[in-house]
């Protein structure tokens, strides 16, 4: 008789991951204030917002939640990262045409040809306002641009002004606090009123409730297989949802490996002793020489492709070489050599792990949690 998986033994839905970094609308804890503030401001006609905060504060999470539960009669255009003005115009046209937002560049370009009919008008920056107004028929366009610290020039301001002056729209710009000073100057120069907002920090009780809700979302109860004491400990040690979900996910993977390899019937428990032992091994492996890298100095030590790789890893839980190749449009050999160079120059900054691929194991890379917190100024 084949042994049950740990998820099955716990009564969890096999197709759900409670510790995913993706938004789970049914298990949202905290971040309500930013969501409520933006909803009310949009309803009341305010038109320009700047959402800032450190890495992992919940900026993108809150905006995704807003998009999933939008105010009445709104259509969202959601961009992230760097685009040209022409690309922004095309993305808005595709979104408005289908009334469905496309977040990533890869998905946007992949769907652009198929989603815009052959006989659709060729939208330009000059014709965009009329197209938006006619297509939305009284609905408000909510234009969200995330990760604006990655935008290479101030063209973002120009396209925002076009939308504000000629359509019923509001603009939400979002990014790391230290990366948007140029934008604040541009907005001030243009005499545009801008409301600045930040996500609220989650309390320790919020973080505990988050884990409990996530476990219940997959069909479990309480904190099992974690003990409540262990979750309390983790919530005290980690200051944000992203870091907490990351570590809980890593602990669960370890539990699952041990459960599957031992053929045990008894469900293991992740108590404080188990987690502290796991932390010890992990920190001894990962945190060599990290004290030499301080906060914003991280980026100053990197150059060119190294910085692009760092940005890609700091934003996500982990990435494999093929994912980095796709995101950064570089050949695999160049990516691999650059990561090897980074790992040699800054030991303990990047963790390499093996993951099962379709044909062979792949290397997966991630930035250690302490570097993330240093970079965020925590």
Stretch among 40-44, 57-61, 74-78, 282-286 having the lowest mean pLDDT: 282-286
How do residues 298-329 score in pLDDT, each as one tens digit?
A: 666 676 778 888 888 877 667 888 888 888 87
Q: For the chain, list the domains and their CATH numbers.
A: 31-197 (3.40.50.300), 202-286 (no CATH), 290-375 (1.10.10.10)
The token duo for 221 is: 């109860």
Above 50 in pLDDT, residue 378?
Answer: no
337 Cβ contact list (under 8 Å, min separation 6): none
CB 194 within 8 A of CB 48: yes
240 vs 164 pLDDT, higher one: 164
CB 71 within 8 A of CB 39: yes
How do residues 358-376 score in pLDDT, each as one tens digit?
A: 666 677 888 776 676 666 5
Query: Span 184-213, mean pLDDT?
Result: 77
Above 70 in pLDDT, residue 169?
Answer: yes
Above 60 in pLDDT, residue 175?
Answer: yes
The token duo for 376 is: 């965020």
293 vs 136 pLDDT, higher one: 136
Q: Which residues pair with 207 in a beta bridge?
A: none
Output the CA torsion sign for 104, 80, 242, 198. negative
128 Cβ contact list (under 8 Å, min separation 6): 89, 92, 93, 162, 163
């Amino acid at each position: 008789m084949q042994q049950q998986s740990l998820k099955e033994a716990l009564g969890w839905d096999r197709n759900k991951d409670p510790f995913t970094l993706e938004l789970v609308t049914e298990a949202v804890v905290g971040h309500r204030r930013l969501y409520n503030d933006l909803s009310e401001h949009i309803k009341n006609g305010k038109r320009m917002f700047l959402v800032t905060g450190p890495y992992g504060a919940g900026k993108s999470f809150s905006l995704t939640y807003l998009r999933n539960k939008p105010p009445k009669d709104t259509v969202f255009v959601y961009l992230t990262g760097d685009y040209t003005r022409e690309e922004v115009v095309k993305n808005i046209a595709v979104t408005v045409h289908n009334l469905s937002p496309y977040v990533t560049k890869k998905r946007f370009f992949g769907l652009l040809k198929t989603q815009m009919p052959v006989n659709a008008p060729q939208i330009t920056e000059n014709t965009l306002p009329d197209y938006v107004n006619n297509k939305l028929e009284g609905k408000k366009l909510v234009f969200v641009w995330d990760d604006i610290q990655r935008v290479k020039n101030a063209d973002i301001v120009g396209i925002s002004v076009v939308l504000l002056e000629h359509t019923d729209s509001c603009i939400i710009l979002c990014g790391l606090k230290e990366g948007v000073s140029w934008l604040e100057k541009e907005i001030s120069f243009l005499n545009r009123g801008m409301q600045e907002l930040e996500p609220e920090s989650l309390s320790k009780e919020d973080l505990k409730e988050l884990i409990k809700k996530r476990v219940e979302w997959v069909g479990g109860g309480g904190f099992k297989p974690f003990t409540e004491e262990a979750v309390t400990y983790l919530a005290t040690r980690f200051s944000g949802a992203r870091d907490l979900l990351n570590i809980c996910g890593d602990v669960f993977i370890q539990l699952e490996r041990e459960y599957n390899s031992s053929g045990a019937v008894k469900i293991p428990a992740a108590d404080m002793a188990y987690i502290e032992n796991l932390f010890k091994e992990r920190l001894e492996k990962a945190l060599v020489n990290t004290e030499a890298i301080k906060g914003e100095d991280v980026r100053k030590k990197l150059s060119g492709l190294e910085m692009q790789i760092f940005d890609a890893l700091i934003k996500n839980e982990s990435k494999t070489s093929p994912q980095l190749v796709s995101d950064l449009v570089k050949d695999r050999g160049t990516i691999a050599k650059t990561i090897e160079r980074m790992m040699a120059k800054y030991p303990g900054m990047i963790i390499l792990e093996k993951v099962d691929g379709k044909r062979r194991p792949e290397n997966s890379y991630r930035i250690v949690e302490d570097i993330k917190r240093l970079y965020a100024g925590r």
